[in-house]
C-alpha cells in the first residue's frame, strides 16, 4: 500500500498538477494540505473520475485538508484537534481507510516569531502531541501525514544558520517534533534516508528548486505496527518542476501487506471535545 502526503498550495488553482500526479503516481491513499478552498469548492468530481473517494475540511482562502482513497471507503473519525474549542482553522482531518487510521494535518507556520502566530503554532503542536499519544495508546496502526512546518534537524535545511530566527526552525518547534518521536512515532522518510540531504519544499524565489535549495517539512509518522511494515519512503521531486506546480513535492511511503488487526472507526467531529 502506498500512502502519500502533498501540500497542493491551492487545490483548484493547481488542479491539473494534482490530477496528473494522481494519475501517474496512483497512491492508494493521499493526504492533501493547503486546499485554500471553502467546503463547497472542493473539486470532488474530477478526483472521483480518477477512482478516488474523498473527504475534506475546507476553509475559504486559507488552510484546508483532505484524504483521498482508491482502496475502499473513508470512515471519518475526526475533524479538528481537541483542546481549543474556538479554533476555526481547518488543519486536521482523520479517518480509517483500509484498516489504517490516517491523520492528515497542516501545522501552523508560526511566523513572525515571536508573536501570536508563533504562540498559536506551539499550542497547536501541544494539542497534536496530546492527541498523538492517545492514538499510540490505542495500539491501532496509525499514520500522521502532512505539512508539519518544521525542519527537525540541521540535515533538513540547506543552510541552518540562515533559519535560526524562523518559526519553522525554532528550538521550540524542533523540540515539539522530537517529543512526537520520543512517544514512539517513526519518521518514515528519515528512517529510509539516514544522513541524506532530502527536501520536500523549495521556494519559488531565486531559483531555489533549480539550485536544490530546499527544506524538509512534509513528514509521515508511523505508529510501531506500521513501522514494521515500512518498505520504502520517497519524494516525487520531479513534480515540483512541473509547470504551475506547488512549492512542495509529494512524499510517499510503501507499506507491506502484512496487516495489523482491522481498526473500528469512532466518529469524533467536534474540535473541542
Which amino acids are annotated catalytic?
106, 147
Compute, in degrees rounded to 10, the torsion defined by CA atoms 47, 54, 26, 152: 120
pTM of the model: 0.94
Confidence of residue 262 (pLDDT cuts 50, 70, 90): very low
Give pLDDT, residue 259. Answer: 56
Q: Which set of grid coordinates corresponds to residue 270? A: 467536534
- pLDDT above 90 (res 269): no
Structure confidence by residue, pLDDT tens digits, 123-145:
999 999 999 999 999 999 999 99
State the DSSP string of 165-223: TSGGG-HHHHHHHHHHHHHT-EEHHHHHSTT----SEE-SSTTTTTTT-EE--EEEEE-
Structure confidence by residue, pLDDT tens digits, 161-172:
999 999 999 999
Mean pLDDT of the chain: 94
Contacts of 153 (CB under 8 A, 6+ apart): 174
- pLDDT above 80 (res 104): yes
Phi (first) and psi of residue 135, to 5 degrees: -65, -40
> What is the share, in percent, of the chain residues with pLDDT greater than 70?
94
Structure confidence by residue, pLDDT tens digits, 184-233:
999 999 999 999 999 999 999 999 999 999 999 999 999 999 999 999 99
Instruction: Characterize 121-130 residue by residue with b for buried, 16 or more Cβ atoms within 10 angstroms of its Cβ, and e for exposed.
Output: bbebbebbee
Amino acid at each position: 500500500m502506498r500512502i502519500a502526503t502533498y501540500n497542493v498550495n491551492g487545490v483548484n488553482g493547481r488542479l491539473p498538477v494534482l490530477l496528473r500526479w494522481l494519475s501517474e503516481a496512483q497512491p492508494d491513499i493521499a493526504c492533501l494540505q493547503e486546499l485554500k478552498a471553502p467546503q463547497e469548492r472542493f473539486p470532488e468530481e474530477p478526483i472521483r473520475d480518477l477512482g478516488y473517494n474523498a473527504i475534506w475540511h475546507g476553509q475559504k482562502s486559507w488552510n484546508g485538508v483532505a484524504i483521498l482513497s482508491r482502496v475502499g471507503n473513508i470512515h471519518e473519525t475526526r475533524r479538528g484537534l481537541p483542546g481549543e474549542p474556538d479554533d476555526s482553522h481547518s488543519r486536521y482531518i482523520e479517518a480509517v481507510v483500509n484498516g489504517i487510521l490516517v491523520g492528515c494535518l497542516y501545522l501552523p507556520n508560526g511566523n513572525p516569531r515571536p508573536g501570536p502566530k508563533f504562540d498559536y503554532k506551539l499550542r497547536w503542536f501541544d494539542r497534536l502531541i496530546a492527541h498523538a499519544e492517545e492514538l499510540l495508546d490505542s495500539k491501532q496502526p496509525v499514520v500522521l501525514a502532512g505539512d508539519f512546518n518544521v525542519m527537525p534537524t540541521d540535515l533538513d535545511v540547506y543552510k541552518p544558520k540562515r533559519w535560526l530566527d524562523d518559526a519553522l526552525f525554532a528550538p521550540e518547534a524542533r523540540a515539539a517534533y522530537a517529543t512526537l518521536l520520543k512517544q514512539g512515532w517513526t519518521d518514515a522518510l528519515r528512517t529510509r534516508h539516514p544522513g541524506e540531504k532530502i527536501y520536500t519544499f523549495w521556494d519559488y524565489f531565486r531559483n531555489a528548486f533549480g539550485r536544490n535549495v530546499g527544506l524538509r517539512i512534509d513528514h509521515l509518522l508511523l505508529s510501531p505496527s506500521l513501522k514494521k511494515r515500512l518498505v520504502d519512503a520517497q519524494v516525487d521531486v520531479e513534480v515540483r518542476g512541473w509547470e504551475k506546480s506547488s512549492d512542495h513535492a509529494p512524499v510517499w511511503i510503501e507499506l507491506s501487506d502484512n496487516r495489523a488487526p482491522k481498526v473500528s472507526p469512532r466518529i469524533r467531529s467536534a474540535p473541542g471535545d
